[in-house]
Amino acid sequence: MNRTLVTIGSDPRTSPRPAEAIRIAAGAGSWKKTEISLLLRGPAGHALSEFADELVDEDNFNRYLPIIAEWGRPIYVGEDFEDMDVLRDSPWKYEVVSAAKIAQLYLEHDSFIQM
């Protein structure tokens, strides 16, 4: 099966792009034509915080992150996320990854969406 890596780098507290990327990832993965993996870089890690009401377009996070979580794969968070304390009580399964692991993720996927 084709594998797609969706990378989000903008801050979900100030930009609607992360919420839209989460919606797109959940929709594309639901088609079951590609296996979706999600990578959050830099401030995008805030998307996994416990309180989605602090994020732009919070409804997309509440509606679509559970779909992504059902796939059983971790959501990857780049080690460049500077506020790891925010994720302490995160309800989502995530894995903090190094730059080397991120490079490996790009090698393991066939397609990429960058938001």
Quickly list DSSP for 14-33: T-SHHHHHHHHHHHHHHTTS
Cα 109 from Cα 111, distance rounded (Å): 6
Percent with pLDDT over 70 in the chain = 100
Q: Can you tell me whether residue 108 is helix, strand or coil?
A: helix
pLDDT digits (tens, 9 = 90+) for 17-61: 999 999 999 999 998 899 999 999 999 999 999 888 899 999 999
- Predicted confidence at residue 42, as pLDDT, reads 97
Cα 1 from Cα 14, distance rounded (Å): 35
Q: Does 105 have pLDDT greater than 90?
A: yes
- Predicted confidence at residue 52, as pLDDT, reads 87
The answer to whether 55 and 46 are in contact (CB under 8 A) is yes
| The total number of structural domains that make up the chain | 1
- What CATH number is associated with residue 85? 3.40.1260.10
Cα 61 from Cα 65, distance rounded (Å): 5
Residue 26 domain boundaries? 2-114
- Predicted confidence at residue 1, as pLDDT, reads 84
- Predicted confidence at residue 57, as pLDDT, reads 94
Percent with pLDDT over 90 in the chain = 91
